[in-house]
């Protein structure tokens, strides 16, 4: 059932975009009242459009800028309902764009590097070096110790005759 719905939505994605655009224009300019169901329906259509066309967050931010510009311009003509609807759509598009940006950032992020990789030869060297005592190291020699860092990588410190340099 879900696959059939996805197929239908993908097949008619241009029509969904057209219905969204016409609905947005109707809601801002020609609808004299605020209908929450209409706003939620149009927002749902916009989210479907974003997923179907794989829009980047920039598209939502551009629509947010346009709706804010509409509210700014119509403020001079004393069209308060258009101003209110433009600002409300501004915040909705801004919210959708921010969620898109967070999702795309999380998708691009690399998985964290495991510091405690037991099979890694460098890990055993670090453990061996960090557990060495003064008797095991000859006096007068310089010992280079690598300590694993929490974010990945190593912190290197050198000591000479047991004193930190």
What is the structure's pLDDT at 5?
Answer: 85
What does the alpha-carbon distance between residue 89 and residue 67 come to, in Å, rounded to a whole number? 6
What is the structure's pLDDT at 135?
Answer: 46
What's the pLDDT tens digit per position in 81-126?
999 999 999 999 999 999 999 999 888 886 665 555 545 555 555 5
Average pLDDT (34-44) is 92
Encode 68-98: b = buried (16+ Cβ within 10 Å), e = exposed: bebbeebeeeebeebbebbbbbbebbbebbe
Domain coordinates in residue numbering, the chain:
2-108, 121-164
Q: Taking the chain, what is the end-to-end CA distance rounded to the nearest angstrom?
A: 68
- The count of residues in the chain is 165
Under the banding of pLDDT at 50, 70 and 90, the label for residue 133 is very low
- Residue 40, both tokens: 């939620």
For the beta carbon of residue 147, count every other beta carbon within 10 angstroms. Answer: 11
What does the alpha-carbon distance between residue 109 and residue 147 come to, in Å, rounded to a whole number? 25
What does the alpha-carbon distance between residue 26 and residue 141 come to, in Å, rounded to a whole number? 81
Q: Which of 33-42, 70-79, 136-145 has the lowest mean pLDDT?
A: 136-145
Average pLDDT (24-51) is 93
Under the banding of pLDDT at 50, 70 and 90, the label for residue 144 is low
What is the structure's pLDDT at 161?
Answer: 57
Asked whether 59 and 26 are in contact (CB, 8 A), the reply is no
For the beta carbon of residue 139, count every other beta carbon within 10 angstroms. Answer: 9
Cβ within 8 Å of residue 159, ≥6 positions away? 142, 143, 145, 165
């Amino acid at each position: 059932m879900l696959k059939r719905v996805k197929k239908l939505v993908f097949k008619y994605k241009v029509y969904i975009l057209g219905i969204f655009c016409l609905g947005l224009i109707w809601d801002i300019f020609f609808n004299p009242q605020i209908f929450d169901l209409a706003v939620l329906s149009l927002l749902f259509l916009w989210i479907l459009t974003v997923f179907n066309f794989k829009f980047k967050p920039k598209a939502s931010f551009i629509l947010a800028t346009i709706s804010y510009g509409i509210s700014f311009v119509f403020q001079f003509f004393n069209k308060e309902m258009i101003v209110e609807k433009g600002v409300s759509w501004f915040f909705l598009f801004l919210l959708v764009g921010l969620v898109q940006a967070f999702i795309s950032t999380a998708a691009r992020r690399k998985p964290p590097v495991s510091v405690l990789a037991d099979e890694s030869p460098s890990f055993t060297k670090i453990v061996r070096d960090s557990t060495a005592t003064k008797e095991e190291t000859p006096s007068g020699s310089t010992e280079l110790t690598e300590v694993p860092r929490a974010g990945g990588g190593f912190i290197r410190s050198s000591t000479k005759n047991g004193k930190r340099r």
